[in-house]
Structure 1
Amino acid sequence: MLFHEVLPLLRNYWPIVLTAGFIAYLLSNKYHKGLNRYPGHWLAAYTDWWRFFDVLGRRHEWTTLRLHREHGDVVRLGPNVLSFGDPKALKVIYGLNKGFIKSDFYPVQQAVSKGRRLQSLFSTTDEDYHAKYRRCVNNAFAMSSLVSYEPLVDSTVDVFLDQTQNLFANTGESCNFSRWLQFFAADVIGDLTWSRRLGFVEKNEDVDGIISFLGDFLSYAGPIGQMPILDLLLEKNPIKLLLQRWGITKSVFPVTLFAQSRSAERADEMAKIKAYGLQAPSNNAAGIDLLSKFTQAQHDHPEFMTDTQVLTACVSMVFAGSETTAISLSSVFYFLLKHPRCYQKLMEELDESVRNGTIIDRENGSVSWSESQKLPYLDAVIQESFRLHPAAGLILERIVPPSGIEICGRYVPGGTIVGCNAWVLHRRPEVFGWDVDVFRPERWIEANPGKLKEMKATMFQFGAGARTCIGKNISLLEVYKLVPSFLRRFEIELERPDREWKTHNAWFVRQLEFNTKFKPRPVHATV
C-alpha cells in the first residue's frame, strides 16, 4: 500500500529526490566521522574526485605542501583522508605494532600474471603475509649483503661510464640525462637480479618498452589509487582477470613477461638451488644475484615461498628499483649543476681524496662503496638532494585501526586513511632551518649531533617503520657509487642553464627536460 502511494511521488518529483539525495551524500561526506574540523581544499571534504583530478594534474606534492603551509599540521585531502605534516606523526602512523595497515591505494600497483594478482612486499595490504614474505627475503636486502652486490653494480657502472664517453662525451651530443640514468638503474637491477644487464645502456634504447610501460603504469596508478574502485572497473576488472585465467584473453605485464623469460633461462640452476640450497662458490668475485637468493629462500621456506613469490620478488625489483633510484640520481646531478659553488666544493673533495689516498686512482675513475662513505661533503649533497626532491610525491597511506588512535594530540576515528608526504616533512623549518626551500648541503655538516639525529629521523624518502622500502640499501649503493665515479670521469653542463626542469608526479616525481652535455675529464690529473 505504501509502495503504491510513494511510487507516483517519485515519478512526479524524481529530479527533486535525486538532488536531495545527492546533497545528503555530499553533506555526509563533509561531516564524516567529524573530520569536518580539519581544513583543506573545500572540495576535498565532499568528494575524492578532487584529489583524483589534483593528482592527475601531476603536481600534487606542491598542492599538499601549500595546503600544509596555509592550514597547519593536519590537512584534509578527501572525505576520509588526512595528511599529517608533523614529523612526530611518523612514529604513530608507521611505528611498529601500532595496528595501521596499508590502504587500497597499494593493490592498484600489483602486477598481473595469467589473470592473477602478484602480491609484492610493497603492494600487499595483508600484514601477516608481508611479515612472512619479508622474513624469507630480508637477508637478501640487509646492509651486510652490499659487499656481495658491489661487483654486480661495478659491472654496470663500468659499462655506463664507457658508453657515456662513446655516445655523448666524445661526440658532443646532448643527453636526456634523466632517461639515461634510468637506463643505468634498470641495467643495475638486471645485473643484481639475474646477473645479466637488460641491455638499456649498451643499446641506448628502451628494451622491450619496459621503461615506457613503467612510466605509463605509474601514471595510471597515481590518480587511480586515489579512488581504487576505478581499478576494479579497469585493469583489475574481475571479469577481465577471469578471462585471462581461462586463457580466453592473454594480457601479461611486459615486466612480468621479461622476468619470466630471464628466470626461465636459468631454470636448471634454480632447480638445484631449490633442492639443495646455494653452494659456496669457489670464486665469488662476480657476486651472488637476487634470483639465487630468492630461490635460496624458497629452499629455506618451502611452506611459504613458491615460484610465484620468487617471480613477484623479481618483478618488484624492476618496478621499484629503476624509477626511484633514477629520480634520486637525477636530483643529485641537477642540484649540483644549478649550484656551481656546491659542484666545485664536491669536486675539490673528490680530487683531494684521490691525492691523499682515500680514493684509489682507478683507470676508469670509479669509486668504491667504502670509499664513498669517507666523503662527508658527498654525503651532505646526497642527503640534501633526498630532502629537496624525494621520489614519492603522495602521502604513504595507512588505515587507522578500528579502535581509533591519537596522532599528535588529535583523536582520529578508526577506518580513517592517514599518511605523511615526504615533500612536506622535508621542508619543516623547525627541523631543517629557515631556508628549507634552498639547496644547501652544509646544513648536514653544520648541525650538532642532536639536530643531525632529528634531521635524519624526519627524512622519509624511503618510508618508515616495518614497511620501509626493502631495497633502500641497494638504492644507496647505486647512488653513492655512481655520483662520485661519474663526476671524476666527466664534466657536466646543462644544455639550457637558464631553464628549470619540469616534473611529473606519477606518484613518483620523475624529472623531464633535464638535458645535459658531457666533456671528458682527465681522471689522473689530480694525482
Structure 2
Amino acid sequence: MLLNEVLPLLVQYWPLVLASLVVAFFLNNKFWKGLNKYPGHWAAGYTNWWRFWDVRGRHHEWTVIRLHREHGDIVRLGPNVLSFADPRAIKTIYGLNKGMTKSDFYPVQNAVAKGQRLQSLFSTTDEDYHAKYRRCVNNAFAMSSLVNYEPLVSSTLGVFLDKTQELFAHTGNTCNFSQWLQYFAFDVIGDLTWSKRLGFVEENRDVDGIIAFLQKFLSYAGPIGQMPILDLILEKNPIRMYAQRIGLNSTVFPVTLFAQTRSNERAGEIQKIKTYGLPDDLPNSRGVDLLSKFAQAGHDHPEFMDDTRILTACTSMVFAGSETTAISLSSVFYFLLKHPQVYAKLMAELDEAVTNGTIESREDKTVSWAESQKLPYLDAVVQESFRMHPAAGLILERIVPPQGMNILGEFIPGGTIVGCNPWVLHRRPEVFGVDVDAFRPERWLEASPEKRKEMNGTMFQFGAGARTCIGKNISLLEVYKLVPSFLRRFEIELEHPEAEWETHNAWFIRQANFNTKFRPREVSP
C-alpha cells in the first residue's frame, strides 16, 4: 500500500531523487569512518576519481609531496585512503605480524594466461599464499646466492660494454641512455632467469615489443589501481576471462608468452630437476640460474610449487626485475652528470682504488661485487640516487585489519587503506637534513653511525617488512657492478647539458629525454 503511494512520487520527482542519492553518496564518502578530520585535496574525500586523474597525470609523487608539506604527516588521498609521511609509520604499516594485507591495487598487475590470473609474490593479497610461495623461492634470492649469479651478470655486462663501445663510443652517435640501460637490465634478467640473453643489447632493439608492452601495461595499472573495479570492467572482466578459458579468445599477456617460450626451450631439463633435484656437483661455471632454482623449489615443495607457479615466478622477473633496476641505473648516471663535482670525486675514488689494488686492473675495466663494496663514495652516490629518485611513485597500499589500529598516535578504523610513498619518506628533513631536495652524496659519509642507521631505516625504495622486494639483492648486484665498470670504461656527457629529463609516473617512475654521448676513457699511468 505504502509502495503504491510512494512509487508515483519517486517517478514524478526522479530528478530530485537522483540528485539526492548522488549528494548522499558523496557526503557518505566525505564523512566515512570519521576520516574527514584528515586534510588533503578538497576532492579526495568525496571520490577516488580525484586520485585516478592525478595518477593519470603522471606526476602524482609531486602532488603527494606538496600535500604533506602543506598539511602534515597524515593526508587523505581518497574517501578510504590515507598517506603517512612520518618514517615511524613504516614499522606499524609494514612490520611483521601487524595483520595488514595488500589492497586490491596489486591484483590489477596480475599477468593472465588461459583466462587465469597468475598470482605472483608481488601481486597476491593472500598473506598465507605469499608466505608459502616465499618459503619456496627465498633461497634463490638470498644474499648468499649472489656468488652464483655474478658470473651471469658479468657475462651480460661484458657484452653491454663492448656494444656501447661499438655503437656509441666509436661512432659518436647519441645514446638514449634510459632505453639502453633498460636493454641491459632485460638481458641480465634473461641471463639470470634462463641462462640466455634475450638479444636486447646485441640487436639494440626491443625484442618482441616486450618493453613497449610493459610500459603500456604499467601506465594502465597505475591509475586503474586507484579504482580497481575498473580492471574488472576493462581487462579482466568475467566474460573476457571465460572466453580465454574455453578457447574463444587466445590472447595471452606478451610477458607471459615471452616467459613460456624461454622456459619451454628447457622443458626436459626442468622436468628432470623437478624429479631428481639439482645435482650437488653441477658443472656450471656461469652459475645456476633462477629457472633451475625455481625447478628445485618444485622438487622440494611439489605440493605447492607447480608448473604454473614456476612460470609465474619467471614472469615476475620480467615484470619487476628490469623496469625498477633500469630506473635506478638511470638515476645514478643522471645525477652524476648533473653534478660534475660528484662525478669527478667518484672517478678519483675509482682510479685510486685501481692504483692501490682495491680494484683489480682488468683489461675490460670491470669491477666485481666484492670490490664495489669497498668503495664508500660509490655507495654514497648510489644511496643518494635511490633517495632522490626511488623507482616506486605511489603509496604502497595496505589495509588496516578489521579491529583497527593506532598509527602515529591516531586510531585508524579497520578496512582503511593506508600507506607510505617513498618520494615523501626520502625527503624528511629531520632524517636527511634541511637540503633534502638537493643531490648531495656526502650526507651519507658525514652521518654518525646512529644517524646512518636512521637514514637507512627510512629508505623505502624496496619497500619494507615481509613484502620487501624479493629481488632487492639482484638489483643491487647489477647496480654496483655496472656503474663503476661503465664509468671506468667510458667518459659520459649529456647531449644537452642544460636540459632536464622527463619523468613518467606509471607506478614506477621511468625517465625519458636522457640522451648522452660516450668516449673511451683513457687514464694516464
Instruction: Tell me the equivalent position of 1:344.
Output: 344
Please give the alpha-carbon distance, in whole angstroms, between the structure 2 residues aligned to 1:380 and 1:249: 51
Q: Which amino acid aligns with 1:13?
A: Y
Q: Map residues 9-408 of structure 1 onto 2, 5 A cutoff.
A: 9-281=9-281, 283-408=283-408
Please give the alpha-carbon distance, in whole angstroms, between the structure 2 residues aligned to 1:457 and 1:165: 39
SS in 2 for 1:518: strand
Deviation per CA, 1:34-54: give whole Å up to 9, x if none: 000000000000000000000
SS in 2 for 1:434: coil
Structure 1 position 398, deviation (Å): 0.1
In the alignment, structure 1 residue 472 sits paired with structure 2 residue 481: no
Please give the alpha-carbon distance, in whole angstroms, between the structure 2 residues aligned to 1:268 and 1:412: 53
Q: Which amino acid aligns with 2:428?
A: R
Please give the alpha-carbon distance, in whole angstroms, between the structure 1 residues aligned to 2:247 and 2:160: 41
Change beyond 3 A, Cα 1:296–1:499: same
Structure 1 position 3, deviation (Å): 1.5
Structure 1 position 285, deviation (Å): 1.5
CA contact (8 A) 1:387 1:426 kept: yes
Deviation per CA, 1:162-183: give whole Å up to 9, x if none: 0000000000000100000000
Deviation per CA, 1:47-80: give whole Å up to 9, x if none: 0000000000000000000000000000000000
Change beyond 3 A, Cα 1:526–1:310: farther
Please give the alpha-carbon distance, in whole angstroms, between the structure 2 residues aligned to 1:257 and 1:26: 43
Please give the alpha-carbon distance, in whole angstroms, between the structure 1 residues aligned to 2:324 and 2:263: 24
Structure 1 position 284, deviation (Å): 3.3
SS in 2 for 1:451: helix
Deviation per CA, 1:292-315: give whole Å up to 9, x if none: 000000000001000000000000
In the alignment, structure 1 residue 438 sits paired with structure 2 residue 438: yes
SS in 1 for 2:286: coil
Q: Which amino acid aligns with 1:356?
A: N
Deviation per CA, 1:308-367: give whole Å up to 9, x if none: 000000000000000000000000000000000000000000000000000001111100
Q: Which stretch shows the higher mean deviation, 30-39 or 277-286?
A: 277-286
The runs of at least 4 consecutive aligned structure 1 residues that moved more than 3 Å come to: 281-284
SS in 2 for 1:236: coil
Structure 2 unaligned spans of 5+ = none
Structure 1 position 245, deviation (Å): 0.4
Change beyond 3 A, Cα 1:526–1:308: farther
CA contact (8 A) 1:354 1:526 kept: no
SS in 2 for 1:42: coil
Structure 1 unaligned spans of 5+ = none
How many residue pairs get aligned? The number is: 525
Q: Which amino acid aligns with 2:378?
A: L
Instruction: Tell me the equivalent position of 1:462.
Output: 462
Please give the alpha-carbon distance, in whole angstroms, between the structure 2 residues aligned to 1:2 and 1:439: 70
CA contact (8 A) 1:380 1:445 kept: yes
Please give the alpha-carbon distance, in whole angstroms, between the structure 2 residues aligned to 1:114 and 1:104: 22
Please give the alpha-carbon distance, in whole angstroms, between the structure 2 residues aligned to 1:32 and 1:176: 48
Task: Provide the alpha-carbon RMSD of the alignment.
Answer: 0.6
CA contact (8 A) 1:355 1:526 kept: no
Q: Which amino acid aligns with 1:12?
A: Q
Q: Which amino acid aligns with 2:77?
A: L
The TM-score, its normalising length taken from structure 1, stands at: 0.99
SS in 1 for 2:441: coil
Identity across the alignment (%):
76
Please give the alpha-carbon distance, in whole angstroms, between the structure 2 residues aligned to 1:266 and 1:507: 33
Please give the alpha-carbon distance, in whole angstroms, between the structure 2 residues aligned to 1:171 and 1:254: 34
Structure 1 position 8, deviation (Å): 1.3
The TM-score, its normalising length taken from structure 2, stands at: 0.99
SS in 2 for 1:418: strand
In the alignment, structure 1 residue 497 sits paired with structure 2 residue 502: no
Please give the alpha-carbon distance, in whole angstroms, between the structure 1 residues aligned to 2:447 and 2:197: 41
Deviation per CA, 1:490-515: give whole Å up to 9, x if none: 00000011110010000000001000
